[in-house]
Amino acid sequence: MRMLAFAKRNLKELFRDPLTLFFGLGFPLVLLVLMNVIQRNVPVHIFELETLAPGIALFGLTFLALFSGLLLARDRSTAFLSRLAASPMTAADFLLGYLLPLLPMAVGQSVICLAAAVALGLPLSWNLPAVVLSLIPSALLFIALGLLCGTLFNDKQVGGMCGAILTNATAWLAGIWFDLSLVGGAFQKIAYLLPFAHGADGAKAALAGDWAALPGHLLWVCLWAAAIMAAAIWLFRWKIVER
C-alpha cells in the first residue's frame, strides 16, 4: 500500500515532465529514423533494421537510468525524502516505488520503437513481443543503475553520470552501431563482461528467433541487474532509512 502510493506519486512526477516524455519515448524514435535514412543513402549494409531496431530499443532504455536517478537525487536534495524517511516506509517501499512506474515506460518505449521499425520496413512477426520481454532485464538494470547513482550523487552529478557517461558507454559497448567483433581484442572482451552488449544481443536473438542464444544473454544481464539493485538497496538503507 505504502509502496503503491509512492509509486503513484513518482508516476505522476515522471509523466508531467515533458523532457522525460521526449527522451523516454521520442528520442529513440528520432535515432531510428535517422539511422534508417542513412542506411537508405549508403551502398553498404551498416544499419539494417534487424540489428538496429533491437539495439536502439536497448539504447532508449538508458534514459530510464537518468529518470530514476534524477527523481531520487532531487528528492534527496529536498526535505521531502526526510519527511518520507520519518514515515514507516521501508527501503524496499522506496526503491520499488521508484522502480515500478518506470517499467510501463520501458515497455511502452520498446513497443513504440519496434512499431516504428515495422513502419520503416521491419517484417512483422510473433518474435516482436519476445523482443519487448527480452528487454525487461535491461530495463531493470538501467533503473537500478539510476537508483544507485541517485542514492550516491546529487542531481547534477546524476545528469553527468547517467545522461552522458552511461548513454555513451551503452552506445559504444552494446554494439548498437557496429559489430563488436569488428573491433575485437580487449574492447570486445570488456564489452562482453559488461551487460550492455548482452542486452542488445539478447534482443537481437529474440527478434531472429534464436531461442538457444537468448537465455545466456538474459542471465548475464539479470546477474548484473540483481547485483546493482542489491547495492542500491543496501546503500539506500544505509544512507537514508537506517541513517
Q: Does 22 bind other proteins (CB under 8 A)?
A: no
Q: Does 40 bind other proteins (CB under 8 A)?
A: no
Other CB atoms within 10 A of residue 23 CB: 20
Residue entry with cell 538508458: 62
Q: How far is CA 190 from the centre of its chain?
A: 19
Stretch in the footprint of other proteins (CB under 8 A) among 77-85, 103-111, 147-155, 174-182: 77-85
Contacting other proteins (CB under 8 A), which of 85, 92, 208, 226? 85
204 and 214 in contact (C-beta within 8 Å)?
Answer: no
DSSP SS3 for 1:
coil
User: Using alpha carbons only, how large is the chain's radius of gyration in Å?
Assistant: 18
Count residues binding other proteins (CB under 8 A): 24
Read off the amino acid at residue 21.
L
Q: Return the closest-CA partner of residue 62 out of 195, 157, 223.
A: 195
Closest contact distance (angstroms) between CB of 103 and other proteins is: 19
Q: Does 238 bind other proteins (CB under 8 A)?
A: no
Closest contact distance (angstroms) between CB of 80 and other proteins is: 5
Stretch in the footprint of other proteins (CB under 8 A) among 21-29, 82-90, 138-146, 231-239: 82-90
Read off the amino acid at residue 196.
F
Cβ-based neighbours of 63, under 8 Å, separated by 6 or more: 23, 24, 27, 142, 167
135 and 199 in contact (C-beta within 8 Å)?
Answer: yes
- Between 82 and 168, name the residue whose CB sits nearer to other proteins: 82
Q: Does 84 bind other proteins (CB under 8 A)?
A: yes
DSSP 211: T
Contacting other proteins (CB under 8 A), which of 43, 78, 124, 181? 78
Closest contact distance (angstroms) between CB of 73 and other proteins is: 14
Contacting other proteins (CB under 8 A), which of 26, 87, 211, 227? 87
Closest contact distance (angstroms) between CB of 24 and other proteins is: 16
Residues that bind other proteins (CB under 8 A): 1-2, 4-6, 8-9, 12-13, 16-17, 78-80, 82-89, 242-243
